[in-house]
Amino acid sequence: MRVVPVIDLKGGTAVHAVRGERERYRPVRSGDPLSLARAFRSRLGLDELYVADLDAIAGAGGNDPTIAMLARKARVMADAGVSEPERARELLDLGVHRVVVGTETLTGPEALDR
């Protein structure tokens, strides 16, 4: 079995997801994504993270500096509003291990070809 912890980012803070109802998301205890990543590693031995940049997914800015910081500490799979290849390259340049392309950010099926 493979366990991959998730860090949802909103406004630079790690938030607790509530059934996809993003308006209800509130910061986790400290809200510090780096502290959360460290806890996943030290307490659970997990060095891989799935990071969802909710701001980028919603088209309301992004959390690239935080993603880059997390990518220096763990193997990061990032879902960060990718709809075009350039955005995927930007994430890889930040040090992201894998880029997740969520269907909610694609402009259509032809975007996958690009």
- CA–CA separation, 10 vs 74, rounded Å? 19
State residue 88's pLDDT score: 92
Each residue's pLDDT, cut to its tens digit, for the chain (114 residues) gives: 888 999 999 888 888 777 666 666 676 777 789 999 999 999 999 999 999 999 999 888 889 999 999 999 999 999 998 888 889 999 999 999 999 987 777 676 776 666
| Residues 102-107: contacts with CB under 8 Å, at least 24 apart | 102/57, 104/57, 105/57, 105/81, 107/83
The pLDDT, as a whole number, for residue 109 is 72
Q: What is the dihedral of CA 100, 104, 110, 114, to 10 degrees?
A: -30
What pLDDT sits at residue 21? 63
